[in-house]
Amino acid sequence: MEFRDLKKQYQLLKGDIDQAMADVAASGAFIMGSPVKELEQELAEYVGVKHCIACANGTDALTLALKALGIGKGDAVFVPDFTFFATAEVVALEGATPVFVDVDPRTFNMDPKSLDDAIRSVHDHMTLRPKAVIAVDLFGQPANYPELRIITKREGMFLIEDGAQGFGGSIRLPKPSGEGTMVKRACSFGDISTTSFFPAKPLGCYGDGGAVFTDNDEWAELLASYRVHGKGSHKYDNVRIGLNSRLDTMQAAILRVKFKAFKEHELADVNKAAEYYNQLLGGMTKFLRKEIRITTPYVPEGYGSSWAQYTIQLSVPSGEGTFNREALQAKLKAKGIPTMVYYPTPMSAQTAFKEYHNFALTPNAERLSKSVLSLPMHPYLTREEVRSVVEGLIYSI
Ligand X SMILES: *Cc1c(COP(=O)(O)O)cnc(C)c1O
Cα 344 to Cα 330: distance, rounded to the nearest angstrom: 16
Instruction: Indicate which single residue of 43, 44, 68, 86 sits in contact with ligand X (rule: CB under 6 A).
Output: 86
Segment lying near ligand X (by CB under 6 A), choices 7-15, 34-42, 83-91, 274-282: 83-91
By CB under 6 A, what part of segment 39-78 binds ligand X?
A: 57-59
| Binding residue count for ligand X, defined by CB under 6 A | 15
Among candidate residues 134, 77, 78, 80, the one with its CA nearest the CA of residue 107 = 80
**Number of Cβ atoms within 10 Å of the Cβ of 148:** 23
**Residue among 40 and 162 whose Cβ is closer to ligand X:** 162
Nearer to ligand X, 143 or 267 (CB): 143
Site for ligand X in 103-142 (CB under 6 A): 136
Q: Does 198 sit near ligand X (CB under 6 A)?
A: yes
Closer residue to ligand X (CB): 193 or 364: 193
* 94 near ligand X, judged by CB under 6 A: no
Burial of residue 276 (CB within 10 Å: 0-12, 13-18, 19+) is middle
* Residue 87 within binding range of ligand X, rule CB under 6 A: yes
Q: Is 208 in the site for ligand X (CB under 6 A)?
A: yes
Sole binder of ligand X in the list 164, 223, 247, 397 (CB under 6 A): 164
Contact assessment for residue 71 and residue 94, using Cβ atoms and an 8 Å cutoff: yes
No. of helices (H) and no. of strands (E), the chain: 12, 13
**Alpha-carbon span 98 to 193, nearest angstrom:** 18
Quick one: 196 or 214, whose CB is closer to ligand X? Answer: 196
Provide the 10 A C-beta neighbour count for residue 361. 16
d(Cα 8, Cα 26) in Å, to the nearest integer?
Answer: 27
> Residue 210 interacts with ligand X (CB under 6 A)?
yes
Q: Quick one: which segment of 6-14, 27-35, 81-89, 95-103 binds ligand X (CB under 6 A)?
A: 81-89
In the complex, least distance from residue 58 CB atom to ligand X, rounded to whole angstroms: 2
Binding status of residue 162 toward ligand X by CB under 6 A: yes
H-type alpha helices, 183-321: 217-227, 249-261, 267-284
CB 227 within 8 A of CB 201: no
Contact footprint for ligand X (CB under 6 A): 57-59, 83-84, 86-87, 136, 162, 164-165, 196, 198, 208, 210
